[in-house]
Amino acid sequence: MKSTTLQIAAMIITILHTTVFSLLVSYSFAQTIPNDGLYIGQTQPGNIPEIFAPGIISLNNRLETYPTFSPDGNEIFFTVVTVVNTSWTKGKILHSLKQNGIWSEPDTAIFSNNNYINWESFISPDGNRQFFASNRPPSSNIDIWMTERMSDTCWSDPVRLNSPVNSGAEDGSACVTSNGTLYFKSRRGGGIGGSWLYRAKLIDSSYSQVESLGNIINTRPQETEPFMAPDESYLIFISKTRPGGCGGWDLWVCFQKTDSSWTEPINMGPNINTADDEYGPRVSPDGNYLFFTRDHASIAMDIYWVSSSIIDSLKTIANIPLYQAFEQNIQIYPNPTNNKINISFDAKSYKNVCIEITNIDGKLILSKSYYHQLPVTIDLAGNPKGVYILSIHIDGVILHRKICLV
C-alpha cells in the first residue's frame, strides 16, 4: 500500500512538472513573438545579412532552411532537416500563421506530417499553390509535389507532378513565376556530377514540356536551387565549383536581357557568400529582402535575411558594356586570382592608360596611371574575397571587366 501511494504521488508530481513546463514554454514563445508587424515582427536588416527571427524560427539546436512567405506576409513555411554524417536524411516543413495580429507557434504543416522527406517549400506569387519536394509514395526518388490553398488556414492533399517534370531521377527545388512557369533542378542526365536547372511553361493548365536553361547557366559544375523573380527579370541559384566562388556552395545571380538571353552569372560576393555553404535563396513577396541559408558543416544551419538592394547593385555590374576592340588587344589574367592580376597590352593599344578597381559597392580600391605598353601587375592582397570591377580608361573609352578575388 505504501509503495502504491508513493507511485501515485510520483505520477502526480511528474504530471504537474510537465504541465508547468509546457505553460512556461508557451508563455516564453508568446512573449518572444511581437503581436504585430510583418516578418514575425523582426527589425528589418540592412546590407549585412542577419539571422532571421533568432529564438523563434532560427534555433540553436535545430537546422532550418528554405523559408517561403504568403503574398500578404501572414504565413511562413520553412524546413527543418535531420542530418546524419553530413547527409540530409529527413525533413519536415513547419508553418506559422498570423491571425488577429498574433503569430502562432511554428508547427508541422499538415501535408508534411509523415515520416518521409519533405522540404524546399515554395508558395506561388498568387499564394494559391505551394510546391515542395518529397519522396513519399508513389515517388521512388525525391519528386516535386504540389498542394493548393483551400482557405486561409487549409491546404489540399498534395499531388505529385507528372512527367516530364518528374523524371525518375531526383527532381526538386521548384519555384514558380507570376505567369505560372515552373523552374526547378533535376539530375535527369545533365550536369556532370550533379544537377542542372530546367523550366516548364504552363500551357493549357499543364506542364507538358521541359527545357534546360542553357549553357550560360548550366555548366560543368553543379547548379541547383533556383529562385526566379516573379517577372523572370533575374535568377538566383547556387553552385559549388563555378570559378570565382568564395568557398563551398555560393549564391550566384544573372539577369535576363531584352533578347531573353541571360547575362553571365555573378557571384553575390563576400557579404552573402563565405567559406561555409550558402543555399536556399528566396526573395520576399514584396521584393525587399533576400533570404538564404548559411550552413556551417551541418553543425549550425540558420536562415539569414538581407536587403535585396544587393541584387540591384549586381545588375549594374552585369549590364556594363564590353568593348570588343579593346578586348582583342588586352589580356587580363589570372581571373579568378588569389592576389595578383596581370594586364598586358599589344602593339595596337594606346600608351597612356588609367586603371581603376572598385568593389561591388562602388568603393574605389585603386586608381593609377601607366605610360607604357609593358605588362602591369596589380596586387590585391589584403582585400576581402569577392567580385571587383576593373576599369581600364584608354582615350576616352572605358573597358570594364569583372575580376574575382578568391
pLDDT tens, residue by residue, 336-375 = 889 999 988 765 545 578 888 988 767 888 988 876 657 8
pLDDT digits (tens, 9 = 90+) for 41-97: 899 999 999 999 999 999 988 899 999 999 999 999 999 988 766 667 788 999 999
Q: What is the pTM of this model?
A: 0.73
Decide if pLDDT at 19 tops 80: no
Task: Note the pLDDT tens digit of each residue in 257-273.
Answer: 888 889 989 999 888 99
Q: Which residues contact 206 (CB under 8 A, 6 or more apart)?
A: 162
pLDDT > 70 fraction of the chain, expressed in percent and rounded: 82
Question: CB–CB of 95/111 below 8 Å?
Answer: no
Residues 364 and 263 in one domain: no
Do 283 and 201 lie in one domain? The reply is yes
Same domain, 341 and 384: yes
Asked which of 267, 294, 318 is the last residue of a domain, the reply is 318
Greatest mean pLDDT among 8-17, 310-319, 340-349 lies in 310-319
Q: How far apart are the first and last CA of the chain?
A: 75
User: Residue 379's domain spans which residues?
Assistant: 324-405
Amino acid of residue 155 = W
Render 22-37 in DSSP notation, one character per residue.
HHHHHHHHHHHS-SSS
The number of helix segments (H) and strand segments (E) in the chain equals 3, 28
Q: Please tell me whether the peptide bond between 158 and the residue prior to it is cis, using omega within 30 degrees of 0.
A: no
- In this structure, the dihedral spanned by the alpha carbons of residues 167, 155, 289 and 59, taken in order and rounded to 10 degrees, is -90
Do both 313 and 329 map to the same domain? no
CA distance linking residue 79 with residue 324, whole number of Å = 47
Which CATH number belongs to the domain containing residue 399 in this structure?
2.60.40.3080
Tell me: do 307 and 339 sit in the same domain: no
- In whole angstroms, give the CA distance from residue 255 to residue 92: 32
Query: pLDDT (tens digit, 9 = 90+) per residue, 152-174?
Result: 889 999 999 999 999 989 999 99
Among residues 318, 337, 371, the one where a domain terminates is: 318
pLDDT digits (tens, 9 = 90+) for 225-252: 999 999 999 999 999 878 878 888 999 9
**What mean pLDDT is predicted for residues 195-213?**
93
Q: Which helix (H) or strand (E) holds 196?
A: strand 196-200
Whether residue 149 has pLDDT greater than 90: yes
- Number of structural domains the chain divides into: 2
Same domain, 215 and 92: yes
- What does the pLDDT average to over 310-324? 70
Say how far apart CA 249 and CA 222 lie, in whole Å: 10
Task: Please tell me the predicted confidence (pLDDT) of residue 316.
Answer: 75
Does residue 24 register a pLDDT over 80? no
Count Cβ atoms below 10 Å from residue 400 Cβ, excluding itself: 15
User: Rounded mean pLDDT of 205-234?
Assistant: 90
* Cβ proximity of 399 and 356 under 8 Å: no
211 lies in the same domain as 334: no
Residues paired with 388 in a beta bridge: 359, 403
Per-residue pLDDT, 168: 87
| pLDDT attached to residue 313 | 85
In a domain, 3, yes or no: no
- Per DSSP, what are the bridge partners of residue 172? 185
Confirm whether 158 is domain-assigned: yes
213 and 180, same structural domain?
A: yes
